[in-house]
C-alpha cells in the first residue's frame, strides 16, 4: 500500500484523538437510540465514502464544461452523473444539484422568479410550513410581500382559503410544502389555483422526496413549475439540495431553467461542494434501484403503524394519523407548552424527536404544545410494523410521566428556573431510566455502522 493510500485510510483516532472520541460518542448515541426526527436519516457507507472523498479538495466554480478553474474533468463527470440521475428519478427535463442546502435552494427560486416586494404565498409556519415560504423573520417574509395560508381545524390544508387569498392578492409565486404536515399534499389542486392567477407554482418536497421517488407519495411533477428538495431526509443522502424544473415550468417560461441556474450561480453561491455532489450522485443511484421503492413504502407503513400504536396508548395526533413519514403529537390534552418536557425527557430515554408547534398552538413557538417525529431513520435500520408497538409504547409512557407532573409557569420570568428544576429531577426519574434500558436492549437487534473505525 502506498503512503497516499495509508494517509487516506488512516482513522481519525491516530491523528486527532479528541475528534475521534466525539465521533465515537455520536455513533454510540445513534446506535443505542431511536432517531425519530423526521428530517433525519442514516446514509449508507457508500454515501459516507463519497462525502469524505478527495472531491472535498476541488474548487469548481461554474457549471460542467463551463468552469472558472482548471482540472475539473472529474468534477464535471460526477455532477453530470448526478444531474442525469435526478432527471431520471423524478422525470424532469432539468435539474440543478449545486444548492448547498434547502434554504439556499428556495432562495434561488425567489431570485429567479420574483422581485423584492412581489406577493408570494406559502404554508404558514406555525401551521407546519417552512421558514423560507414567507415567514416574517426570514428573508422570504422580509423582502417579499408574504400572504400565508393555513390549515383548517382538522389539520388539513385549507384549499378554499388558498383560492380566496390567491384571487385577492394575485401572487407571483405560490409554494406547496411543509416541515410538519402529515397528510398527502394537494399538488394538483394548488397548482390549478396558481395557474388561474398566473403564478409560478413551486413545490418544496424536502421531506417527502424519497417517498415521491419510491412511489409512496403523489409526485408534484405534472402540476408544478419548479421543485426543490433537500437530499438528506427521506431520500437518504448527504446534507444538500436540488432544484428541478418541469416540462410544465418550461412551457410556462422557456427561460426558467436558465433563470434557476443563474440564480444559484453566480446569483447566490460560489463554488459547489463537489464532495457533496458526489454523495448526491451515489444517493440518486441508490434511489433508482428497485429496493428503494420497497424502502419508501416501508417508511409509510411504519409511520402509520406508529401512529396507530400512539393512539392506542391514548396519545392525540394532529389529523388523527398520517399519510407520509411524519407524525405530529398534540399534547394539549395535558395542557399547553408541554413539548419541551417531552423532547428532553425522551432524549434521556434515548429516543430523539423535536418539540414543534401544532396548528392554533395556544403556547409560544419557543415552548410549543406538540412534538414531531417520523420513521425514515428507524426504517433504514430495519424496523418494521411489528416493532412500532414497542416504540409507540415507550413514547407514550414518557409523555404521560412528564406531562402529568410538569407545567410551565404562566410568569415567563419563572420559566428558566422551573426548567432547571425539571432537568435536575428527570435525571433520576425511574420511568425514564427504565425506558432507556429497554431501548438500549431493543436497538441491539438493529446494529448500526458496525464496520466504522474512528
CA–CA distance from 270 to each of 59, 106, 139, 420 (Å)? 9, 16, 20, 44
| Residue 256 annotated as binding site | no
291 included as an active-site residue = no
What residues contact residue 115 under an 8 Å CB cut-off, 6+ apart?
none
Determine if residue 185 is labeled as part of a ligand binding site.
no
Q: Is 230 a catalytic residue?
A: yes
Residue 364 counted as an annotated binding residue: yes
Q: How far apart (Å, rounded) are the C-alpha atoms in residues 201 and 114? A: 12
**35, 79, 127, 204: which is the annotated catalytic residue?**
204
Spell out the residues 6+ positions from residue 393 whose beta carbon is closer than 8 angstroms to its own.
309, 313
**59 is an active site residue:** yes
| 239 among known catalytic residues | yes
| Active-site residue, from 32, 40, 61, 76 | 61
Residue of 32, 59, 189, 293 marked catalytic: 59
Q: Binding residue per annotation — 20?
A: no
Residues 189 and 416: their CA atoms lie apart, in Å, by 45
- For residue 125, say whether it is annotated as part of any ligand binding site: yes
Catalytic residue among 183, 233, 338, 355: 233
Catalytic residue among 230, 246, 319, 322: 230
Q: Which residue of the set 24, 152, 218, 239 is catalytic?
A: 239
Q: Can you tell me the distance from the alpha carbon of 276 to that of 238, in angstroms, rounded to the nearest whole number?
A: 7
**Residues designated catalytic:** 59, 61, 204, 230, 233, 239
Residues in the annotated binding site:
125, 129-131, 364-366
Residues in the annotated binding site for (6S)-5,6,7,8-tetrahydrofolate:
125, 129-131, 364-366
Amino acid at each position: 500500500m502506498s503512503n497516499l493510500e495509508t494517509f487516506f485510510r488512516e482513522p481519525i483516532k491516530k491523528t486527532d484523538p479528541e475528534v475521534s472520541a466525539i465521533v465515537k460518542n455520536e455513533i454510540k448515541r445513534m446506535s443505542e437510540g431511536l432517531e425519530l426526527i423526521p428530517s433525519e436519516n442514516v446514509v449508507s457507507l457508500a454515501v459516507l465514502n463519497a462525502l469524505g472523498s478527495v472531491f472535498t479538495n476541488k474548487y469548481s466554480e461554474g457549471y460542467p464544461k463551463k468552469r472558472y478553474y482548471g482540472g475539473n474533468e472529474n468534477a464535471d463527470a460526477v455532477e453530470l452523473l448526478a444531474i442525469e440521475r435526478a432527471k431520471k428519478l423524478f422525470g424532469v427535463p432539468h435539474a440543478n444539484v449545486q444548492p448547498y442546502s434547502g434554504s439556499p435552494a428556495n432562495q434561488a427560486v425567489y431570485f429567479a422568479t420574483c422581485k423584492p416586494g412581489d406577493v408570494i404565498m406559502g404554508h404558514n409556519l406555525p401551521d407546519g410550513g417552512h421558514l423560507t415560504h414567507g415567514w416574517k423573520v426570514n428573508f422570504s417574509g422580509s423582502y417579499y410581500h408574504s400572504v400565508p395560508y393555513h390549515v383548517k381545524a382538522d389539520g388539513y390544508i385549507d384549499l378554499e382559503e388558498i383560492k380566496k387569498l390567491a384571487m385577492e392578492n394575485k401572487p407571483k409565486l405560490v409554494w406547496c410544502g411543509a416541515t410538519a404536515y402529515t397528510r398527502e399534499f394537494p399538488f394538483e389542486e394548488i397548482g390549478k389555483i396558481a395557474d388561474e392567477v398566473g403564478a409560478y407554482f413551486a413545490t418544496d418536497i424536502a421531506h417527502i422526496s424519497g417517498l415521491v421517488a419510491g412511489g409512496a407519495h403523489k409526485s408534484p411533477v405534472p402540476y408544478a413549475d419548479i421543485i426543490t428538495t433537500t437530499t438528506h431526509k427521506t431520500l437518504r443522502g448527504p446534507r444538500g439540495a436540488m432544484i428541478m424544473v418541469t416540462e410544465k415550468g418550461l412551457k410556462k417560461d422557456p427561460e426558467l431553467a436558465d433563470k434557476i441556474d443563474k440564480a444559484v450561480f453566480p446569483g447566490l453561491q460560489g463554488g459547489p461542494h463537489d464532495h457533496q455532489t458526489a454523495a448526491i450522485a451515489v444517493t440518486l443511484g441508490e434511489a433508482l434501484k428497485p429496493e428503494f421503492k420497497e424502502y419508501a413504502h416501508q417508511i409509510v407503513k411504519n409511520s402509520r403503524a406508529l401512529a396507530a400504536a400512539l393512539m392506542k396508548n391514548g396519545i392525540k395526533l394532529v389529523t388523527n394519523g398520517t399519510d407520509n413519514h411524519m407524525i405530529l403529537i398534540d399534547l394539549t390534552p395535558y395542557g399547553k407548552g408541554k413539548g419541551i418536557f417531552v423532547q428532553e425527557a425522551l432524549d434521556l430515554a434515548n429516543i430523539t424527536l423535536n418539540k414543534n408547534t401544532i396548528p392554533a398552538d395556544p403556547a409560544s413557538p419557543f415552548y410549543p404544545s406538540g412534538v414531531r417525529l417520523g420513521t425514515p431513520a428507524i426504517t433504514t435500520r430495519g424496523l418494521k410494523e411489528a416493532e412500532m408497538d414497542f416504540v409507540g409504547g415507550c413514547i407514550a409512557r414518557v409523555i404521560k410521566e412528564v406531562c402529568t407532573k410538569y407545567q410551565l409557569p404562566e410568569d415567563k420570568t419563572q420559566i428558566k428556573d422551573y426548567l432547571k428544576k425539571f432537568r435536575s429531577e428527570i435525571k433520576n426519574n425511574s420511568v425514564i431510566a427504565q425506558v432507556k434500558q429497554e431501548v438500549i436492549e431493543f436497538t441491539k437487534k438493529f446494529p448500526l455502522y458496525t464496520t466504522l473505525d474512528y
